[in-house]
Amino acid sequence: MTKVENNKAWWLVMPVFLIVAFSAIIPLMTVVNYSVQDIFDPYTRYFVGTEWFKQVMTDSRLHDALIRQFIYSFTILAIEIPLGIAVALMMPTKGRGASLALILVAIPLLIPWNVVGTIWQIFGRADIGLFGAMMAELGINYNYASEPMHAWLTVVLMDVWHWTPLVALLCYSGLRAIPEVYYQAARIDKASRWAVFRYIQLPKLTNVLIIGVLLRFMDSFMIYTEPFVLTGGGPGTSTTFLSQSLVQQAIGQFDLGPAAAFSLVYFLIILLVCWVFYTTIMNMQKDK
Amino acid sequence: MAEITLNSLAHTYSDNPTKPEDYAIREMQHIWHQGGAYALLGPSGCGKSTLLNIISGLLEPSDGEVLFDGKRVNELKPEERNIAQVFQFPVVYDTMTVYDNLAFPLRNIGVPEHKIRSKVLEVAEILELSDQLKRKAKGLSADQKQKVSMGRGLVRDDVSAILFDEPLTVIDPQLKWKLRRKLKQIHEQFNITMVYVTHDQLEASTFADKIAVMYQGQIVQFGTPRELFENPAHTFVGYFIGSPGMNFIDATVTEKELSFGTHTLPLHPLLLKRLQDMDAQQVKVGIRPEFVHVWDGANDDAFLVDVDFVEDLGTYKILTFNFHGILMKARLSEDQKVPQGKAYVSFPEQWTKVYVNEFLVEVDHD
């Protein structure tokens, strides 16, 4: 059969192209536009080439924020992924208990970011908050407003509380999808509980874990609201992450050019890291 | 190595069973002898898999006992019973290589690595998996995966029996035959008790020395393929085994003979006496299509019947005829004359079986 050349078929992809153009490409182009020009007003602008990018790449404040950001994201991944799997494994699978557990686990997911920040802001205060008071009772001088380490840990704790349920629910659904016969075969093979987890459950969870890792990485890498509500990025710069720096630069100082260049670099970092995660996990599964 | 005894075994999934229909397995007494190759044959939902899971310990029977070599094992978990089971859908550990899959059951019980190696290589050789050992199990085809799951049962020296739960369902037809032969060879080589669950009579009779036919939670007959064919103990066996199945006609017992429609069938006096003593109500006469005699012309024994149609199945033909409103079938050999419109048929006494309440009634002829 000969292939029929018909370029009219391209019209069929038009709607998708338009939607993507308006939702992603055109807004992104605006940012590109700002990143290579120095714009004063609609009639006054100068092309500056890679000037802003050079400035951004050598800005030590941004370097610090980037390092802080990576440590933060990897910390919460290192906690949330194993914890989420553990919670999913412990959740009941049948009866009323199962529905109840699902609801309880899902509750943190329903709370908006800034509310989470406010909750923990109050919760962590030694004078009016339960958590703060508890720490004080234990003899720990916990104060997120003055201790950088405490502020940082509070933000981590907040995120773990808020988002571990997402990982847990993903894993729970993944675990439910494993046919009973695998467990039966494992019993006949006299597999230990650990072997069942290592060779049946974990491999079958790979796909949901990829989703979990990518979602949690992207989200945590863009974290803004919680530290902003808690301490506004302080004390000092201890909880000033990348998006916080970006907002300070773009809206605080109104340096739109460097901020646009920074946005693009930021975007590329996220893309790169996601790609690395994805290909690593996929390669781990491959048939040798 | 073990002899498996099912002692007054019954199982129900309901909490308070009242009638026999509530039982997935109705009370049964059965022995699987050490070293036998057995098939458990029956239609979907007759309780075959339930019975298999009870033997392996995945399910605890609600009544009765399972004995291995005379020892009660009801309370033992599957991992304590030394049983291997191969499931309908191949179970392999995806992330492991074929070698590691085969070694897995041995590693779990702490066998030293050099022993594992020789055993795995031996089993891989038998299953023709030697060149696949380094591959990840995930990439294997369905039949290779199924061989791996069988292999996991064969590597263990301590295995008392291997249970197969319709293991060839997902395998391509041409490979099915090969794998079944492989199983047979393995059975001869290892002298392990094997129980093979299937709903395919051909599969059952090529694999097994003896077949247990299950129907509505009961084993209705346990015998060689030949016995099942020639002497079905239950109408279901007659109907399920053979293609087409046995012909059945409702009949009544009279003083001198067995009558159906306007015809009568002479019976052996002992059998007639027995039927009369039983005061049998639900009587059926059964005869296999292969044993219905189709004559070329009229004679004293033959009944005249209307021919409905003839199906040509290649090497033989199936004649469907109307006998007093009951459609019956007879098998014609290739060179036999095909009757047109009318046919003369007779039912040889030797092959005419009498069933009361669906069960065969027999007497010793000697």
Whether A232 and chain B come into contact, CB under 8 Å, resolves to no
The answer to whether residue B93 neighbours chain A at the CB level (below 8 Å) is yes
A288 touching B, CB under 8 A?
Answer: yes
CA separation for the pair B78, A193 (Å, rounded):
14
CATH topology of domain B4-236: Rossmann fold (3.40.50)
A187-237 confidence digits (pLDDT tens): 888 889 999 999 999 989 988 998 899 999 988 988 888 888 888 877 878
**Full residue range of the structural domain in which residue A257 is found:** 60-285
Higher pLDDT, B157 or A215: A215
Q: Which of B55, B85, B144, B165 to mutate to test the interface with A (most CBs of A within 10 A)?
A: B85
pLDDT band of B222, cuts 50, 70, 90: very high
Q: Strands B316-323, B326-333: parallel, antiparallel or unpaired by DSSP? A: antiparallel
Q: Which residues of B336-346 are buried (b: 16+ CB within 10 A; e: fewer)?
A: eeebeeebbbe
Distances (CA, A) of A263 to A53, A129, A254, A257: 10, 37, 14, 10
A228 domain-assigned: yes
The Cα B92–Cα B136 span in angstroms is 10
At residue A86 the predicted structure's pLDDT band, cuts being 50, 70 and 90, is very high
B84 has a chain A CB within 8 A of its CB: yes
Establish if A5 belongs to a structural domain.
Answer: no
How many domains, in total, are found in chain A?
1
Distance CA A205, CA A173 (A): 9
Do A190 and B138 make contact, defined as CB atoms within 8 angstroms? no
Q: How far apart are CA A87 and CA A259, in angstroms?
A: 40
> In the structure encoding, which two tokens stand for residue B54, read together?
């009870």
Residue B20 has pLDDT above 50, yes or no: yes
Chain A partners within 8 Å of B91 (Cβ): 181-182, 185
A117 in a structural domain: yes
Q: Which residues of A are less than 8 Å from B109 in CB distance?
A: 190
- Subunit contact A288:B96, Cβ cutoff 8 A: no
pLDDT (0 to 100) of residue B184: 85
Cβ of B141 under 8 Å from any chain A Cβ? no
Please state which CATH class domain B247-361 belongs to: mainly beta
Q: Kindly state the average pLDDT of the residues B165-184.
A: 84
The answer to whether the Cβ–Cβ distance between B87 and A184 falls below 8 Å is yes
Closest by CA position to A245, among listed A62, A73, A53? A62
Q: At residue A148, what is the residue type?
A: P
Q: Give CA torsion, residues B212, B218, B220, B223, to 10 deg.
A: 20
Q: Do A184 and B104 touch (CB under 8 A)?
A: no
DSSP 8-state code for residue A73: H
Strand partners, B312: B317
A287 in contact with B at a CB cutoff of 8 Å? yes
Q: Is A190 on the interface with B (CB under 8 A)?
A: yes
The beta-carbon neighbor of B105 closest among A189, A285, A286 is A189
Would you say B361 and B278 are in contact if contact means Cβ atoms under 8 Å apart?
yes
pLDDT digits (tens, 9 = 90+) for A230-284: 888 778 788 888 888 888 888 888 888 888 888 999 899 989 988 998 888 888 7
Residue A72 lies in a domain: yes
Q: Which of residues 159-178 of B touch A (CB under 8 A)?
A: none
CATH of the domain at A141: 1.10.3720.10
Across B139-217, the runs of DSSP E, i.e. the strands, are 161-165, 193-198, 210-215
Subunit contact B138:A287, Cβ cutoff 8 A: yes
Mean of the per-residue pLDDT values of chain B: 86
pLDDT surpassing 60 at residue B183 = yes
- Over the stretch B23-52, which tens digit does the pLDDT of each residue have? 888 888 888 888 888 999 988 888 888 898
What pLDDT does residue B5 have? 87
Residues of chain B with CATH 2.40.50.140: 247-361
Could you give the CA distance from residue B128 to residue B118 in angstroms, rounded to a whole number?
15
Distance, C-alpha B322 to centroid of its chain: 31
Q: What is the mean pLDDT of residues B242-266?
A: 81
Residue A76 has pLDDT above 90, yes or no: yes
CB count, 10 Å around CB of A178?
14
As a whole number of angstroms, the distance between CA B344 and CA B250 comes to 20
ipTM of the assembly? Answer: 0.79
Question: What's the rounded Cα separation, in Å, for the pair B132 and B124?
Answer: 9
> Is A179 close to B83, i.e. CB distance below 8 A?
no
**Among B307, B305, B301, which Cα is nearest to B347's?**
B301
Q: How confident is the model at residue B366 (pLDDT cuts 50, 70, 90)?
A: low
Which residues in A14-29 are b (16+ Cβ under 10 Å) and which e?
eeeeeeeeeeeeeeee
The answer to whether B259 touches B324, Cβ cutoff 8 Å, is: no
Q: What is the pLDDT of residues B105-131, one digit of tens each?
A: 999 988 899 999 999 998 898 888 888
Q: Provide the pLDDT for residue B1.
A: 59
Q: Which residues of A touch B138 (CB under 8 A)?
A: 285, 287
Edge-to-edge strand ranges of the sheet holding B193-198:
B83-86, B161-165, B193-198, B37-41, B210-215, B218-223
Q: Is position A77 within any domain?
A: yes
Spatial separation of the C-alpha atoms in residues B55 and A184, rounded to whole Å:
13
What is the DSSP-derived secondary structure letter of residue B144?
A: H
CB-based contact (8 Å) between B101 and chain A? no
Q: Write the pLDDT tens digit of every residue in B288-299.
A: 999 888 888 888
With an 8 Å Cβ cutoff, is A14 touching chain B? Answer: no
Q: Which of A184, A204, A287 sits opposite B58 (nearest CB)?
A: A184
Alpha carbon distance A243, A155 (integer Å): 15
Instruction: Tell me which residue of A287, A255, A277 sits closest to A62, measured CA to CA.
Output: A255
E-state strands within B172-292: 193-198, 210-215, 218-223, 247-253, 258-260, 263-265, 283-287
CB contact under 8 A, A182 and B91: yes
Q: What is the pLDDT of residue A288?
A: 44
**Ordered DSSP codes for A199-243:** IIIHHHHHHHHHHHHHHHHHHHHT--HHHHHHTTT-STTTT--HH
What's the mean per-residue pLDDT of chain A? 87
- What Rg value do the Cα atoms of chain B yield, rounded? 25
Q: Among B79, B141, B197, which would you mutate to test the A interface (most chain A Cβ atoms within 10 Å of its Cβ)?
A: B79
Q: With bands split at pLDDT 50, 70 and 90, how would you rate the model's confidence at A286?
A: low
Tokens of B27: 């009370």
Q: Please determine, for residue A287, whether its predicted confidence score (pLDDT) is greater than 80.
A: no
Closest of B66, B67, B70, B105 to residue B84, by C-alpha: B105
> What percentage of chain B exceeds 90 in pLDDT?
12
How far apart CA B266 and CA B304 sit, in angstroms, is 17
State which H helix or E strand residue B293 sits in: strand B293-295
Strand segments, DSSP code E, in A102-147 are none
Percent of chain B with pLDDT over 70: 99
Q: Do B149 and A192 touch (CB under 8 A)?
A: no
Half-sphere CA count of B326, side-chain side, radius 13 A? 16
As a whole number of angstroms, the distance between CA A60 and CA A66 comes to 10
Per-residue pLDDT at A105: 92
- Give the per-residue pLDDT at A172: 94
Which residues belong to CATH 3.40.50.300 in chain B?
A: 4-236
Q: Which of A188, A191, A286 sits opposite B56 (nearest CB)?
A: A188
The alpha carbon of B348 is separated from its chain's Cα centroid by a whole number of angstroms, namely 27
What distance in Å separates the CA atoms of residue A94 and residue A98, rounded to the nearest whole number?
A: 5
Smallest CA–CA distance from A204 into chain B, residue? B94
Confidence of residue B92 (pLDDT cuts 50, 70, 90): very high
pLDDT for A1 equals 59
Place of tokens 């079944």: B180
SS3 (DSSP) at B248 = strand
Q: In terms of pLDDT, which residue wins out, A225 or B264? A: A225
